[in-house]
């Protein structure tokens, strides 16, 4: 049921004419004992999917807000194995899909096959690994596929048409469309060419396309989401979660979506 849960969520949203809101938080920021409360708060706020970051000492794709959250989690002694154990304990209380965002090194330390097994026991629907290129993904995607967990692929603004077609072939879960050049973090706005890009790849893709990086306001989420299947919000949600401002998170979600944002920004 792992990947199917996410597929059913996107199908249901599409049938209702809604867009996905994927909300990112860093697992263990505030301690693992607070993870259940944080995830239930995101679900109650209207998130359709939760993207759960795994703390890592060298997070090359993350901006300063998420880097700081990762450092706080590491200072709490949070590990990938500990996160998966906590997810397994609370998974029956979380009704929306959960996607992990991790770098390769924590998975390699645990082992790709044991990671996939533990992720399945934790109810994980998908895994995002921004430092693993498509050509090297089989080491991780093979074990995940055995447990019906999707390995989410990226398309960037610099991806060629040939590369986009290559990424889309066999894509699972959803396509993560990166909206900016650089790391995660809030931006003042987006170039108009982004919207043409999102519409183009959405027409080509057999799976939903969700846009992330740099989205930090209600208006940005609404505008970007209108050109694809959903949005992912990270840095701003991490800040609001640290302030325990759940109303602020609710205010990010466009009224036309009523869904969650993937917050890896």
**62 catalytically annotated:** yes
Q: Which residue, 133, 126, 176, 131, is CA-closest to 147? A: 126
- SS3 of residue 176 by DSSP: strand
Based on the residue annotation, tell me whether 29 is a catalytic residue of this protein: no
Cβ neighbours for 18, distance < 8 A, ≥ 6 positions apart: 256, 257, 258, 259
Q: Which of 62, 172, 222, 239 is catalytic?
A: 62
Say how far apart CA 3 and CA 173 lie, in whole Å.
7
**Residue pair 214/42 in contact by the 8 Å Cβ criterion:** no
The one catalytic residue in 7, 29, 43, 51 is 51
Residue 180 carries which DSSP code?
A: S
Q: Give the H/E segment covering residue 20.
A: strand 20-26
Q: Which residue has the tokens 């959903």?
A: 230
Greatest Cα-to-Cα distance within the chain, rounded to the nearest angstrom: 45
Q: Is 104 exposed, middle or buried (0-12, 13-18, 19+ CB in 10 A)?
A: middle
Q: Measuring CA to CA, which residue among 172, 162, 156 is closest to residue 207? A: 172
**30 closest CA partner among 226, 242, 229:** 242
Question: What angle (nearest 5°) sits at the alpha carbon of residue 127, between those of residues 224 and 47?
Answer: 45
Known catalytic residues? 51, 62
């Amino acid at each position: 049921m792992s990947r199917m849960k996410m597929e059913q969520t996107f199908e249901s949203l599409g049938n209702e004419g809604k867009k996905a809101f994927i909300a990112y938080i860093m697992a263990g920021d505030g301690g693992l004992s607070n993870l259940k409360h944080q995830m239930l708060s995101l679900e109650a706020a209207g998130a359709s999917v939760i993207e759960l970051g795994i703390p890592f000492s060298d997070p090359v794709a993350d901006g300063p807000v998420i880097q700081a959250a990762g450092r706080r989690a590491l200072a709490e002694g949070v590990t990938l194995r500990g996160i998966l154990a906590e997810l397994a304990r609370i998974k029956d209380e979380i009704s929306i899909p959960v996607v992990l965002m991790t770098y390769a090194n924590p998975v390699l330390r645990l082992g790709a096959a044991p990671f996939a097994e533990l992720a399945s026991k934790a109810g994980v629907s998908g895994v995002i690994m921004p430092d693993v290129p498509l050509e090297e993904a089989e080491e991780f995607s093979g074990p995940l596929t055995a447990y019906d967990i999707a390995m989410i692929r990226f398309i960037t603004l610099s991806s060629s048409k040939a590369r986009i077609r290559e990424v889309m072939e066999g894509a699972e879960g959803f396509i993560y469309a990166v909206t900016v050049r650089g790391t995660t973090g809030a931006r003042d706005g987006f170039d108009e060419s982004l919207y043409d890009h999102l519409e183009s790849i959405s027409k080509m893709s057999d799976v939903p396309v969700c846009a992330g990086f740099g989205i930090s306001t209600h208006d940005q989420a609404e505008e970007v989401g209108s050109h694809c299947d959903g949005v992912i919000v990270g840095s701003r949600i991490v800040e609001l979660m640290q302030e325990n401002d759940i109303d602020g998170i609710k205010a990010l979600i466009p009224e036309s979506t009523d869904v969650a944002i993937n917050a890896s920004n």
